[in-house]
Amino acid sequence: MSGDDPTAIRFATVHEAFAAAARAVPEKPFLAVTPSAGWTIDGKTEINYGAAARRVAALTALYRAAGYGVGHRVALLAYNRPEHFLHLLALNALGAGVVPVNPDYAPDEMLYLMEHSEADLAVSVPERIADLEAVARRRAKPFPVIDALAPPAILPAPTRRAGGTPGADSEAALFYTSGTTGRPKGCIISNFYFLNVANEYARMGGVIALKPGEDRILNPLPTFHQNCGAVTFTTAVVTQNCLITADRFHARSWWKDVVASRATAIHYLGIMVPALLNLPEAPEEKQQKVRFGFGAGCDPEGRARFQKRFGFPIAEGWAMTETGNFIKDAHEPRQIDRRAIGKSNAWMEARIVDERDNEVPRGTPGELVVRAPGANPRRGFYSGYLKDPEATATAWRGGWFHTGDTCLQQDDGMIVFLDRKKNIIRRSGENIAAAEVEACLQTHPAVERAAAIAVPDEMRQEEVMACVVLKPGHARDAATAAAITEHALGKLAYYKAPGWVMFRDALPLTSTQKVQKTQLFPAGTDPRALPGAFDLREKKKHQRR
């Protein structure tokens, strides 16, 4: 970062930024894992920049010898282990992109990802190699699978030749994000995206003021999301700080992990706040040294209680996989009494528009649209949806990226989040496309028609409810409801399956035969409390596949 322009970037690739940090601070900690994760690297829970650089150099030599480079994609299924980032950096050095794999994906979902991305190779933790090999056999063009922790001395070569030199515009990753029309979309993410958002985080200031070379940022979110996989990771690199990962968020061991890992900053999703507030007080929550938390989705009442009880501020922000950049409410006086998510800034402009894309008056709800300031409105954003230029153009109509979120803008310029416009269910921080769930349910032999909707959930913010019309001859009972959820669990990631099932005589339809979800229940009704609502949430236990 240099010059008077706060958005200026010094490096062309993520690996260049990492190599510079490794030369400058080889003994500083780079990657760490929480004790509850149970992972180690060389028997330790932490690796410094110098040791990581040697690991990355060795992996780079392996990939180079096999012929990997610009134009290749490698799928990574390494959970949140340090090895995920080491392989990413090695491939980035050569210009190859990574495709982080959601480990909760069912086989059909993994097959779609591997087919759509055309990944040349899969790199997996040992316990998941067999799963990926089974997927490889089903793909029209099978792919090799190697061990992420102990790769072979000679890697299988890609069938395509690499071409070009790695640069700022090179594809660094392909992040899959839930769309509203079924299958996830592949967001093409460049080196510039990684570095630009890290630059923004590093310069954010306010209550989110990082100390170069001194901070330890604990992010329990998955590496297949851009929050941990791009934003926090690259920010740690450019600030020469340490990124701490976890296998996932565990409320009961959270403060023990925070203390043991010596975290000075945390990332959160709204679901984490009530989970921690509902726990009895523990000695560790008073021993932690966290200066701030940064996240999204926390209700105002919970944020105030959290800050009072645990003694550090949590700042809300807003971003999407597509945007990279974010808006945030990080400078005092912060508006913690509402869902304030930030204002336009040097990296992102925001405005609220109506259905015709006309800007609405302050205080009027509408859709949030965003862009980068200056001549290039897409600066720092995703490079497009893979194989879907029409969807990319639609999202960017009028030169603004359309978020699908309903917000309003106050007189002071602050954006307040209200709701989502898109047909998305938000469960424990995961975006679930209702259309994808519905398509799965329609394949059950008892289902005539189904609509997936969001219902409130005290622990997970929202849960999936399936409103189902059965085919003749099928009983509207608990056994049928359970069978429908079990069917979804066999085809989708566990969190996408219906946690509630309700049978209906019919679904309200438009003239074009689309379900009118707003007409399913009277306004103000909690469908969970209605007769005939079957609670299947116990079936949705998280399990590593």
Judged by average pLDDT, the poorest of 3-7, 106-110, 242-246, 258-262 is 3-7
pLDDT at residue 1 above 50?
Answer: no
Judged by average pLDDT, the poorest of 47-51, 56-60, 250-254, 295-299 is 295-299
Classify the C-alpha dihedral 75-80-85-86 as positive or negative.
negative
pLDDT at 342: 95
- Summarised one tens digit per residue, pLDDT across range 199-258 is 999 999 999 999 999 999 999 999 999 999 999 999 999 999 999 999 999 999 999 999
Place of tokens 């509630």: 500
- Summarised one tens digit per residue, pLDDT across range 490-541 is 999 999 999 999 999 999 876 456 788 888 999 889 999 999 999 999 999 8
Phi, psi of 143 (to 5 degrees): -130, 150
d(CA 477, CA 536): 12
- Summarised one tens digit per residue, pLDDT across range 517-526 is 888 999 889 9
pLDDT at residue 389 above 60?
Answer: yes
Of 376, 407, 438, the position where a domain reaches its end is 407
Shared domain check, 271 and 204: yes
pLDDT at 9: 93
Shared domain check, 252 and 170: yes
Which residues lie closer than 8 Å to 229 by C-beta, 6 or more apart?
Answer: 84, 100, 173, 175, 222, 223
pLDDT at residue 84 above 70?
Answer: yes
d(CA 449, CA 468): 6
- Summarised one tens digit per residue, pLDDT across range 410-428 is 999 999 998 777 778 889 8
Find the mean pLDDT for residues 54-77.
98
Of 407, 435, 468, the position where a domain reaches its end is 407
- Asked, for residue 178, whether it belongs to a domain, the answer is yes
* CATH code of the domain containing 504: 3.30.300.30
Q: Assign 466 to helix, strand or coil.
A: strand
Shared domain check, 372 and 488: no
Shared domain check, 401 and 472: no
Find the mean pLDDT for residues 132-152.
98
Shared domain check, 23 and 94: yes
pLDDT at 2: 43
Shared domain check, 432 and 399: no
Shared domain check, 435 and 382: no
Question: Across all residues in the chain, what is the average pLDDT?
Answer: 93
* CATH code of the domain containing 390: 3.40.50.12780
d(CA 219, CA 266): 6
- Summarised one tens digit per residue, pLDDT across range 282-341 is 999 999 999 999 999 888 888 999 999 999 999 999 999 999 999 999 999 999 998 899
- Asked, for residue 496, whether it belongs to a domain, the answer is yes
pLDDT at residue 179 above 60?
Answer: no
Find the mean pLDDT for residues 442-467.
92
Question: Which residue segment(s) compose the domain that 479 sits in?
Answer: 427-539
- Asked, for residue 414, whether it belongs to a domain, the answer is no
Shared domain check, 332 and 214: yes
Which range, 96-100, 299-303, 353-357, has the best average confidence (pLDDT)? 96-100
pLDDT at residue 3 above 70?
Answer: no
Which residues lie closer than 8 Å to 4 by C-beta, 6 or more apart?
Answer: none
- Summarised one tens digit per residue, pLDDT across range 264-273 is 999 998 878 8
Shared domain check, 128 and 201: yes
pLDDT at 301: 82
pLDDT at residue 180 above 80?
Answer: no
- For 40, 100, 268, 456, the CA distances from 230, given in Å and listed in that order, are 22, 11, 15, 30
Shared domain check, 286 and 355: yes
pLDDT at residue 118 above 90?
Answer: yes
Shared domain check, 431 and 403: no
- Asked, for residue 420, whether it belongs to a domain, the answer is no
Q: Assign 507 to helix, strand or coil.
A: coil
- Asked, for residue 418, whether it belongs to a domain, the answer is no
Which tokens sit at 534?
């079957």
pLDDT at 58: 98
Shared domain check, 465 and 534: yes
Of 379, 407, 435, the position where a domain reaches its end is 407
Q: Which of 146, 165, 166, 42 is nearest to 87 (CA)?
A: 146
- Asked, for residue 4, whether it belongs to a domain, the answer is no
Q: How many domains does the chain have?
A: 2
Place of tokens 């056999």: 137
Which tokens sit at 280?
């009895």
- Asked, for residue 46, whether it belongs to a domain, the answer is yes
